[in-house]
Amino acid sequence: MIPIQNRQRTGIWIGVGIALMGLVGIVLPPLLGVDGMNGAYALACLGVFFLIIGLVTALVFAQRARLLGRILAGDGILARWAYSDVQGQQQVESEYQRAAGQNRALFLIMLFWFVLIAGGLIGYDYYRHGDVNWPFAGSMLGIVLLLGAVAWLAPGLRRRQARRASQEVIISRSGLVLSGAFYTWAGPLNRLTEVSFSEGPGQPELEFSIRSANWLGSSSATEVVRVPVPAGQLEAARQVVVELSGRV
């Protein structure tokens, strides 16, 4: 069986990289002698924005890496099973469709705020100087294209990783691992709002509703994670509901 990797540490380095990019946007214009009204102030604002996002991302993934490490070490495990190759690939495809739709919706929210802020800065600069700051406008367009590429391509990359990942499922008191992906409700930004078990005529499945803090357009967002349950694990699934319902 393919071992489950703690890939949350990668998110720490991604956050650090974003923070460094923001820091460069803050300190580079003064070092190059760029005038504040010629784009330095705008780049500094965006630099602060990316610096904050990067630091928050690094801190969140550091906590996620710690929680996943404890689960992989066997802490608080409630149920554990593995899918067949066919079941695993069906789960990966279902997760891909869900993630693709969610990423596109999130990108549209980010695009709205980004265009509002960057457009306002460009419009103000045009009002002050009667000309568009094309280098700044071009850099903003490049950032939008980069964010869009990430939003559209990330689910496909995640699907490729999941197809090669372990098909083992681990459900613990603090989170679950499914197709190599980690979902947690133990952090300060996450909360398990509902857990249920459907035993209908189709594929039995556990359903976890996880509410996460979301400052990109709303106070919170709820993610629903569906975990197919193999025939021999029905009692274990029922026990998961019993154990976690007291935490909702």
d(CA 114, CA 107): 10
Distances (CA, A) of 132 to 37, 41, 146: 12, 15, 22
Residue type, 108: L
User: What pLDDT was estimated at residue 163?
Assistant: 64
For residues 241 and 206, the answer to whether their CB atoms sit within 8 Å is yes
User: What pLDDT was estimated at residue 68?
Assistant: 92
| Average pLDDT estimate for 160-185 | 82
Quick one: pLDDT band at residue 194, thresholds 50, 70, 90?
Answer: very high
Over 80: is that where the pLDDT of 104 sits?
no
User: What pLDDT was estimated at residue 216?
Assistant: 47
User: What pLDDT was estimated at residue 218?
Assistant: 46
User: What pLDDT was estimated at residue 79?
Assistant: 93
User: What pLDDT was estimated at residue 151?
Assistant: 73
Mean pLDDT taken over the chain: 79
Q: Report the percentage of the chain scoring pLDDT > 90.
A: 18
Over 70: is that where the pLDDT of 99 sits?
no
| Average pLDDT estimate for 122-135 | 74
User: What pLDDT was estimated at residue 241?
Assistant: 94
Per mean pLDDT, which range of 29-38, 94-103, 201-210 is the poorest? 29-38
User: What pLDDT was estimated at residue 60?
Assistant: 87
Distances (CA, A) of 43 to 131, 150, 214: 18, 22, 25
Quick one: pLDDT band at residue 77, thresholds 50, 70, 90?
Answer: very high
DSSP string, the chain: -PPPP-THHHHHHHHHHHHHHHHHHHHHHHHHT--GGGTHHHHHHHHHHHHHHHHHHHHHHHHHHHHHHHHHTTTTEEEEEE--HHHHHHHHHHHHHHHHHHHHHHHHHHHHHHHHHHHHHHHHHHHHHSS--HHHHHHHHHHHHHHHHHHHHHHHHHHHHHHHS--EEEEESSEEEETTEEEES-STTEEEEEEEEE-SSS--EEEEEEEEE--SSSSEEEEEEEEE--GGGHHHHHHHHHHHHTT-
User: What pLDDT was estimated at residue 140?
Assistant: 73
Q: What tens digit of pLDDT does each residue of 196-244 get?
A: 998 877 788 999 999 887 544 445 678 888 888 988 899 999 999 999 9
- 194-199 contacts at long range (C-beta below 8 A, 24 or more positions apart): 194/248, 195/240, 195/241, 195/244, 195/245, 195/248, 196/241, 197/229, 197/237, 197/238, 197/240, 197/241, 199/234
- Six token digits for residue 123: 């419009």
User: What pLDDT was estimated at residue 192?
Assistant: 92
CB neighbour list of residue 156: distance below 8 Å, 6 or more residues apart: 96, 100
Instruction: Tell me phi and psi for residue 162, to 5 degrees.
Output: -65, -35
For residues 225 and 210, the answer to whether their CB atoms sit within 8 Å is yes
User: What pLDDT was estimated at residue 126?
Assistant: 75
Over 70: is that where the pLDDT of 248 sits?
no
Over 50: is that where the pLDDT of 178 sits?
yes
Quick one: pLDDT band at residue 173, thresholds 50, 70, 90?
Answer: very high
Q: What tens digit of pLDDT does each residue of 43-75 get?
A: 777 788 888 888 988 998 899 899 999 999 989
